[in-house]
Copies of this chain bind each other. A is one copy, B any other.
């Protein structure tokens, strides 16, 4: 697990970053962040499908129709959701003030918020802190940014990869927050990705949607979808490569790299799941279709009974097969095979005698459940974590 602190060695040409404590959080932890590209960037985004959308999400969804962006300001400690017309005014105030301070057009500034729902945004505190936020911008400030967007996360989440485009070497770097993986917390799943590689909007958007579908969307059964969930990517083209389109030979390698980055971040979120002691990865093969594989992966990874059993180091395979059974996927009970950390637990739909071996494996803090439905070629994987008393503790007393 990449746990970075202090100034980072990760730099993305043409981007600067900052993160400071503005005093929104009572804890005085960092709570205000800024990402700035030197030039306008091609920008794509995926936002919550919750009908209740936070004010900054409403604003961002309108802005992104231009397919352009240059800067993102993010606060933690307050979601600015369910805050009515005043919430939208506050988000716009944040946007316009920040944009004028970094001297870019207002509509190239995006706003994102995460934290408690329904409390008025302390916008005056934020505005007062903007000069410090802007003066703190640095090419090596990405870890400060990653820290400032955290809520119940226990460590910042940054992941970066280099990518060869012809003779040039570009990079994709992403930060994320979210530790309610059991269900994307009201405290929100946020991810911001920056790259110096030049891409067309269509290519950028398609690659982003593919990556999100295979990572963050497989991290949850959408039990508690947030009002603020946001994934955004900005491509500023500082690398000077020939713009990548969906037909370009480099599109697939870009997409693959982006996929692996978001999957790693999703894993970090699972690993940092509220109260979690184990990361759970569910790999499904042999499904009749990809969508069947997805259904099974989500049902098993999202089952509270599976999560609690794994926490208790209980090789309770009945709960796994029951979840497969209610997933909605086509199955044949007598063909189902399940392995846990490479030990076969279910063969031909019923238990093997390996419970004790599996129980030993359940002491690991990484659990991989491999399910073969024995029907076709559909595959999928999903991420999750165990469900513990720690989750209850965190969520029973979050606002009070």
Stretch at the interface among A161-169, A197-205, A224-232: A224-232
In the complex, chain B residues whose CB is within 8 Å of the CB of A83:
350
Nearest residue (CB) in B for A389 is B389
* B395:A312 contact, CB within 8 angstroms: yes
- Judge whether A206 is part of the interface by a CB distance below 8 angstroms: no
Of B333, B392, B398, which is within 8 A of A387 by CB? B392
State the majority secondary structure of interface residues on A.
loop
* A322:B224 contact, CB within 8 angstroms: yes
Do A316 and B392 contact each other (CB < 8 Å), given the known contacts A322-B224, A349-B82?
no
Q: How many residues on A have C-beta within 8 angstroms of the other chain's C-beta atoms? A: 64
- Judge whether A105 is part of the interface by a CB distance below 8 angstroms: no
* B81:A399 contact, CB within 8 angstroms: no
- Judge whether A397 is part of the interface by a CB distance below 8 angstroms: yes
Within the complex, the shortest CB–CB distance from A225 to chain B, in Å, comes to: 4
* Complex alpha-carbon distance, A317 and B326, angstroms: 31
Do A399 and B349 contact each other (CB < 8 Å), given the known contacts A49-B326, A389-B392, A392-B389?
no
A-B contact pairs, 20 of them (CB 8 A): A50-B326, A51-B326, A51-B331, A52-B326, A52-B331, A84-B334, A84-B348, A84-B350, A117-B316, A118-B321, A183-B303, A183-B305, A186-B305, A222-B326, A223-B304, A227-B322, A308-B391, A312-B396, A316-B399, A388-B396
